[in-house]
């Protein structure tokens, strides 16, 4: 069948992994982290098994949370390459520009900052970013990363995470296949599937998604790209305006524009890094 995927890219974050409901569980300095990095590998391997079942010949996994060294190499299915460590120019999507992929999958994803009933909802940095608005549309990590995949001609066909992340992905890519594995009660509380149920669902839906690639158009952001960012404090807006491409809109909002999407994504990430140096005063 011509539709069988040859090369599959997986970006894996941690907040949307099975059972996770609190920052301490995704923080390498905390005792609970060791358990949940294993849980992360469990969700990932289910997606890899789904990809292999769909006929994938090559799977590349980009560890996309925090310092990007969450997955321990021996925990990952040996069929996959693992991209790990940071910093990297394409960050959560490192490797997406390394030749053509047939599809991009997202595992462990969470919703954008401010989402009602979004477990650990945030946009790249909870400490600095209130909102990122790209070409007039508020966009979270899924939309930003799907747009980078789309720029490289790769459709975003599958997302596993909490129900709010799944709904957000469907709002950007209506024909995406999702595997919701937990339902928020609040930002730090959820009803969760048992890991074995979660993994079965992820494997089955990922495999289906990869048998259905032609149904999904690569997600595309029009160029030039307008990026408005609302910061948590006015000090952060002060600081990011040292960037030569940045303009102030109002107390906590800045604006910038770029000719192409990959540059826009780097520009907004650079601003977030610099905002992180602000003292909270």
Query: Quick check: 122 binds Zn ion (CB under 5 A)?
Result: no
Select from 11-19, 77-85, 234-242, 262-270 the region that touches Zn ion (CB under 5 A): 11-19
Q: Looking only at residues 56 through 115 of this chain, which bind Zn ion when binding is defined by CB under 5 A?
A: 65
Query: Quick check: 13 binds Zn ion (CB under 5 A)?
Result: yes
Which residue, 20 or 221, has its beta carbon nearer to Zn ion? 20
Which residue, 44 or 216, has its beta carbon nearer to Zn ion? 44
- Give the start-end residues of each E strand in 40-151: 58-63, 80-83, 103-109, 129-134, 137-138
Which residue, 127 or 241, has its beta carbon nearer to Zn ion? 127
Select from 6-14, 156-164, 236-244, 270-278 the region that touches Zn ion (CB under 5 A): 6-14
Minimum gap (Å) between residue 201 Cβ and Zn ion: 21
Residues found in the chain: 281
Minimum gap (Å) between residue 259 Cβ and Zn ion: 29
Minimum gap (Å) between residue 108 Cβ and Zn ion: 8
Q: Tell me the C-alpha to C-alpha distance, in Å, between residue 23 and each of 30, 198, 222.
A: 9, 21, 34
* C-alpha Rg value of the chain to the nearest Å: 18
Q: Which residue has its beta carbon closest to Zn ion?
A: 65
Of the residues 65, 122, 152, 194, only one is catalytic, namely: 122
From CA 43, how far away is CA 13, in angstroms rounded?
11
CA nearest to 95, candidates 17, 169, 148, 165: 148
Contacts with Zn ion by CB under 5 A: the residue count is: 4
Q: With beta carbons less than 8 A apart as the criterion, state whether 250 and 236 touch.
A: no
Active site residue 122: yes
From CA 68, how far away is CA 198, in angstroms rounded?
23
Select from 15-23, 73-81, 150-158, 177-185 the region that touches Zn ion (CB under 5 A): 15-23
Minimum gap (Å) between residue 97 Cβ and Zn ion: 21
Which residue, 13 or 102, has its beta carbon nearer to Zn ion? 13
Cβ contacts of residue 65 below 8 Å, gap of 6+?
12, 13, 14, 15, 26, 40, 108
Cβ contacts of residue 97 below 8 Å, gap of 6+?
90, 152
Query: Quick check: 37 binds Zn ion (CB under 5 A)?
Result: no
From CA 52, how far away is CA 156, in angstroms rounded?
17
Minimum gap (Å) between residue 260 Cβ and Zn ion: 26
Residues interacting with Zn ion, by CB under 5 A?
13-15, 65
Catalytic residues: 122
């Amino acid at each position: 069948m011509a539709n069988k995927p040859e090369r599959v890219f997986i970006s894996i974050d941690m907040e949307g992994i099975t059972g996770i409901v609190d920052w301490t569980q995704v923080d390498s300095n905390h005792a609970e982290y060791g358990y949940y990095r294993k849980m992360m590998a469990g969700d990932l391997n289910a997606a890899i098994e789904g990809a292999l079942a769909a006929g994938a010949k090559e799977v590349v996994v980009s560890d996309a949370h925090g310092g990007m060294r969450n997955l321990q190499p021996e925990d990952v299915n040996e069929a996959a390459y693992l991209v790990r460590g940071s910093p990297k120019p394409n960050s959560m999507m490192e490797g997406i520009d390394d030749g053509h992929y047939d599809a991009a999958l997202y595992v462990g994803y969470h919703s954008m900052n401010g989402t009602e009933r979004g477990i650990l909802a945030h946009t790249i940095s909870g400490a600095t970013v209130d909102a990122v608005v790209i070409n007039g549309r508020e966009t979270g990590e899924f939309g930003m990363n799907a747009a980078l995949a789309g720029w490289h001609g790769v459709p975003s066909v599958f997302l596993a995470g909490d129900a709010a992340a799944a709904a957000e992905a469907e709002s950007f890519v209506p024909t995406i296949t999702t595997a919701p594995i937990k339902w928020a009660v609040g930002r730090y509380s959820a009803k969760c599937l048992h890991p074995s149920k979660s993994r079965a669902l992820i494997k089955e839906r990922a495999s289906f998604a990869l048998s259905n690639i032609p149904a999904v158009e690569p997600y595309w952001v029009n160029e030039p790209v307008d990026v408005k960012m609302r910061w948590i404090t006015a000090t952060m807006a002060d600081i990011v305006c040292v960037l030569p491409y940045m303009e102030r809109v109002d107390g906590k909002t800045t604006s910038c524009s770029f000719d192409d999407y990959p540059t826009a994504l780097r520009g907004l990430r650079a601003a977030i890094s610099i905002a992180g140096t602000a003292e909270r005063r």
